[in-house]
Structure 1
Amino acid sequence: MSETNDAARKVRVVVADDQAAVREPLAAVLGLADDIDVVATAADGTQVLTAVADAGPVDVVLMDLRMPVMDGTEATRRLSEDHPGVAVVVLTTFADDDSILAALSAGARGYLTKNAGRQDIVRAIRAAAAGQSVLDREVQDRLLATVRTKAPAPSGALPADLTPREREVLTLIGRGLPNRAIAEKLFISEATVKTHINNLFAKADIRDRADAVRRAIAAGLA
């Protein structure tokens, strides 16, 4: 297989963190993964936007939240508007409700705390590049608790054409299970889970995973 083909398969990543002592080692460690190419680093949100514009095609930005000049949430929002094909995975020390909801609302596809290990970060980058969402367990638990608190009363208003399997998948999303756990519980592949999720999102006009949790709770499934 040619070097060109190998490079074409790599996930192109920008690493953003205002601390060089975090940013540079993280970029070096991620670069050790065979399928990841760190094409740029950035110390603030404006540098992120410049890097994405200048570095050629970028698949994923690994984004810190608290940065000077322009913070990670605003940079994520700008990327969602101007470069919708670029996935953002947040990597931060902050796991409070406001930070989580602001980042996800801005368009972040993943959210990890800096307690995450290298393999967790690599897995999240790969998932984001494939169009999937990955949330740190602590983040997932907090998001689920917040959604449950703010969810409307159950209405059961789901499309009649959802299949029984799609309802099962929605139920498990509502309980906070990631795709891998759903696959294991239903004895199907992760690819099949993703297909069911895509179908039910389209049928029920569900925007993202947080919206799916709300809909599941509102329908009394979770």
Structure 2
Amino acid sequence: MIRVLLADDESLIRSGIAAILGSDPGITVVGEAADGREAADLAARERPDVALLDIQMPGVDGFAAIEAVRAASPATAVAMLTTFGRDEYVARALDGGASGFLLKASPPRELLAGVRAVAAGGAVLSPKVTGRVIEGFRRRRGADAHARLDTLSPRERQVLAQLGSGASNAEIARTLHLAEDTVKTHVSAVLSRLGVRNRVQAAIIAHDAGLSETARD
């Protein structure tokens, strides 16, 4: 039986979510709280498997409650349950130690599956949130890759583009009309300036920055 603690300052929301959780014979709600402090007290007493915490609660909000609940009951997995799927909320919750992020508007089967996944030691994001998180990650990687390119000379960028396409030193030499020894020197400089250990890592940066596409043009 999965034992769940539910924290939300709106009693109607708590009742609705508790009813959904109670529809699963493998899940039981062992406590309901209206704020983060009460949630921590209940966690210490009930030792639930999962704590579902609303983000916007008076007094101790959901973010602060993550730490408080985990301190009171270290074995309890925490998932955030909220109306808001803002990227900064997701990042802050996950950085704080939450194992899941579910929207209150999620279909009942999605909510139940999320609770089961978190209780089993997994991590879960509502599908409506996952796409934005992935896209945000891609944007951050792309921005980081472009920032690293600023350390390279125009010729080194050309060499990196070729690395991103998987070209060997000999192939780079033929494409850029350079001596192979010169290419080796450029490759070493690229690896050093980018702060990477090998050609594969350099190729990943080239891909993230879109350079590998230009090498094929």
Q: TM-score, normalised by structure 1?
A: 0.62
Give the conservation status (yes or no) of the 8 Å contact 2:36–2:60.
yes
Q: Deviations over 1:51-72 (max 9, x none)?
A: 10112x3100111100001110
Question: Which one has the bigger helix percentage?
Answer: 2
Identify which of 61, 71, 96 aligns with 1:71. 61
Q: Deviations over 1:23-67 (max 9, x none)?
A: 022213312211111000011100110110112x31001111000
Aligned to 2:41: 50
Q: Secondary structure at the match of 2:90?
A: helix
- For normalisation by structure 2, the TM-score amounts to 0.64
* 1:146-191 deviations in Å (ceiling 9; x for gaps): 2112224399xxxxxxxxxxxxxxxxxxxxxxxxxxxxxxxxxxxx
Q: Gaps spanning 5+ residues in structure 1: where? A: 1-9, 156-216
Q: Does 1:31 align with 2:22?
A: yes
Q: Which moved more, 1:21-30 or 1:75-84?
A: 75-84
Which has the greater radius of gyration? 2
- Structure 1 counterpart of 2:134: 144
How far did 1:86 drift?
A: 0.9
Following TM superposition, the consecutive aligned residue runs of length 4 or more in structure 1 with deviations greater than 4 angstroms are 217-221
Query: Judging changes above 3 Å, is the alpha-carbon distance between structure 1 residues 120 and 36 closer, same or farther for their aligned structure 2 residues?
Result: same
**CA 105–50 in structure 1, closer or farther in 2 if over 3 Å, else same:** same
Count of residues in correspondence between the two structures: 150
Gaps of 5+ in 2: 149-203, 209-217
Distance 1:71 1:96 in 2: 16
Q: CA separation in 1, counterparts of 2:11 and 2:205?
A: 44
